[in-house]
Amino acid sequence: MLKKLLSFSLVFASLMVSANAVENYKKVPGLDEIVQLPAGGLILARHDDKLMIMSANGRFLVQGGTIFDMWNKGTPITSIQQGKDLAQRVNINAMNIDLDELFSFKFGNQSKGKEDRIVVFVDPSTENSKKMLDQVNRVKSFPVTVVVAPLIQKDSMKLAQRLACLRDTNKEAAKEALLTGNFAFLPKKHTCGVSQMQKTLITTQMLGVTGLPFVIAPDGRTFKGRPSNLEKFARGVK
Question: Does residue 207 sit within a domain?
Answer: yes
Question: Which residues are 147's β-sheet partners?
Answer: 104, 121
Question: Does residue 184 sit within a domain?
Answer: yes
Cis check for the bond before 218: say yes or no (omega within 30 of 0).
no
Whether residues 81 and 106 fall in one domain: no
Whether residues 142 and 184 fall in one domain: yes
Q: How far apart are the first and last CA of the chain?
A: 38
Whether residues 196 and 159 fall in one domain: yes
What is the domain count for the chain? Answer: 2
Question: Does residue 68 sit within a domain?
Answer: yes
Whether residues 106 and 76 fall in one domain: no
| Burial grade of 13 (CB within 10 A; 0-12, 13-18, 19 or more) | buried
Would the pLDDT of 157 be above 50?
yes
Question: Does residue 167 sit within a domain?
Answer: yes
pLDDT, mean over the chain: 84
Whether residues 107 and 83 fall in one domain: no
174-to-24, 113, 182, 183, 221 alpha-carbon distances in Å: 36, 24, 10, 9, 29
Of 87, 120, 147, which one is at a domain's C-terminal end? Answer: 87
| Burial grade of 217 (CB within 10 A; 0-12, 13-18, 19 or more) | buried
**C-alpha–C-alpha distance, residues 89 and 92, integer Å:** 9
Question: Does residue 133 sit within a domain?
Answer: yes
Whether residues 81 and 51 fall in one domain: yes
Whether residues 221 and 111 fall in one domain: yes
Question: Does residue 110 sit within a domain?
Answer: yes
More confident residue, 15 or 102: 102
Question: Does residue 92 sit within a domain?
Answer: no
Whether residues 152 and 215 fall in one domain: yes
Whether residues 75 and 115 fall in one domain: no
User: pLDDT tens-digit profile of 110-152?
Assistant: 888 888 899 999 998 899 999 999 999 999 899 999 999 988 8
Instruction: Output the pLDDT for position 17.
Output: 46
CATH of the domain at 152: 3.40.30.10
Whether residues 129 and 176 fall in one domain: yes
Question: Does residue 94 sit within a domain?
Answer: no
Comparing CA positions, the residue from 5, 8, 11, 22 lying closest to residue 63 is 5
Of 87, 119, 150, which one is at a domain's C-terminal end? Answer: 87
User: pLDDT tens-digit profile of 179-198?
Assistant: 998 888 888 877 888 888 88
Helices 194-207 and 156-169 pack at an angle, to 10 degrees, of 130
Rg over CA atoms, the chain:
19
Whether residues 164 and 185 fall in one domain: yes
Of 87, 113, 135, which one is at a domain's C-terminal end? Answer: 87
Whether residues 53 and 109 fall in one domain: no
User: pLDDT tens-digit profile of 20-63?
Assistant: 445 555 556 667 777 888 877 788 888 778 888 888 777 888 98
Give percent of the chain above pLDDT 90: 34
Instruction: Output the pLDDT for position 7.
Output: 55
Full domain range(s) for residue 150: 99-235
